Amino acid sequence: VMLDQRRLPGEVCYHRYAKPDEVAEAIRGMVVRGAPAIGIAAAYALALVARYERGDAKLFLVANGTAGRILNGTRPTAVNLAWAIARMSRKAGEVAELGPEERFAGMLTEAEAIHREDVAACQRMGALGAEDVPEGAVILTQCNAGALATGGYGTALGVVRAAHAQGKRIRVLADETRPYLQGARLTAWELHQDGIPVEVITDNMAGHFLQRGEVQFVVVGSDRIAANADVANKIGTYSVAVLANRHEVPFTVAAPWSTVDLRTRSGADIPIEQRPGDEVARVGDTVVVAEGVECRHPGFDITPASLVDAIYTERGVVRPKLGERPDVLIG
Ligand code: MRU
């Protein structure tokens, strides 16, 4: 069952899916979005395979492999998707020889574990990040890296939630995040529901507020962190990082370990999803660009490690500006 994030905040509407290709369509179509959330959705989709494919081990593994490839092809930048599919495929190998009911139970338990572990990871990184948030800070964030984008609680918004829960009098400035408006539609919605003070600004206002000293901390999520600590996140994040560095405001990232991709050497190797230009040509249903004019829409950008003060994960904190790389947290 998925909350349709395309319709928020105007409408709270849920869809039920019974087949992995329906879930793949929901991921591709942004019903569910956010790196950890699409990984979790893919994990449940692979549990669904075990529910309908009741044939022998070979048939089950073929169905699992096909569904995994379809799901993996939906969105290329968020590595959590491939990570969750690989973990579920390992589980499929373990349970393949069992009877259909036990197989389904095994796959469902694994998907639920991925989901539960993500929430725990968000809470842990939130607590670590909150230690760095100054009392009374105005916190700038880009996109939605909240409960909606994860198993619950959120990565960047996990840091915000933890700071708020500690009694720090923080406020959030949410970049609206053109063209999909995740900041305006989703971040503001979920913080407002939790009673955490939030104001929405258009993306081009961030520099103004940083220049005036009205922002004390920046925290964003990530779709993939390379071995050298370069960070892929929603388009516009790099601009925010440059501005934050120019004004000596900490620029930080919160992400679960499933977002860290040690096999990708640097940001230059991270695939950037190219979305339809039509999404730029419209604001909601209103067309704002003359017909026939082409638009560009890279969905993500790369922030170099040299601009990142901290990466909060459930394993601990990496400080890229001090020369640390994610592999310091291994072992
Ligand atoms: O295109 P989206 O909405 O899936 O992009 C989401 C983001 O860029 C988030 O910041 C990122 O996935 C981290 S979510 C915890």
Nearest Cα residue to atom 5 of ligand 1: 34
Return the best residue to mutate from 33, 185, 257, 261 for the ligand 1 pocket (most ligand atoms within 8 A of CB).
33
Return the best residue to mutate from 79, 234, 274 for the ligand 1 pocket (most ligand atoms within 8 A of CB).
234
pLDDT digits (tens, 9 = 90+) for 276-321: 999 999 998 899 999 999 999 999 999 999 999 999 999 999 999 9
Mean pLDDT, range 174-181, rounded to an integer: 97
pLDDT digits (tens, 9 = 90+) for 116-130: 999 999 999 999 999
Return the best residue to mutate from 8, 223, 237, 312 for the ligand 1 pocket (most ligand atoms within 8 A of CB).
223
**Would you state the pLDDT for residue 84?**
98
- Checking if the pLDDT of 31 tops 90, the result is yes
- Checking if the pLDDT of 238 tops 80, the result is yes
The vertex-77 CA angle with 73 and 143, nearest 5°, equals 125
- Checking if the pLDDT of 201 tops 80, the result is yes
Residue 223 annotated to the active site: yes
Nearest ligand 1 atom, CA 234: 8
144 HSE (CA, 13 A, CB side): 32
**Would you state the pLDDT for residue 284?**
85
Q: How far is the CA of 282 from the centre of ligand 1 (A)?
A: 20
Mean pLDDT, range 129-137, rounded to an integer: 98
- Checking if the pLDDT of 108 tops 80, the result is yes
- Checking if the pLDDT of 331 tops 80, the result is no
**Would you state the pLDDT for residue 4?**
98
Nearest ligand 1 atom, CA 155: 15
Ligand 1 neighbourhood includes 256 CB (under 6 angstroms): no
**Catalytic-labelled residue, pool 203, 223, 261, 309:** 223
Nearest ligand 1 atom, CA 35: 12
pLDDT digits (tens, 9 = 90+) for 55-67: 999 999 999 999 9
Mean pLDDT score of the chain = 97
**Would you state the pLDDT for residue 110?**
98
pLDDT band at 8, cuts 50/70/90? very high
Q: How far is the CA of 148 from the centre of ligand 1 (A)?
A: 10
CB 282 within 8 A of CB 288: yes
- Give the global pTM: 0.97
Percentage of residues in the chain having pLDDT higher than 70: 100
**Would you state the pLDDT for residue 132?**
98
Q: How far is the CA of 151 from the centre of ligand 1 (A)?
A: 13
pLDDT band at 202, cuts 50/70/90? very high
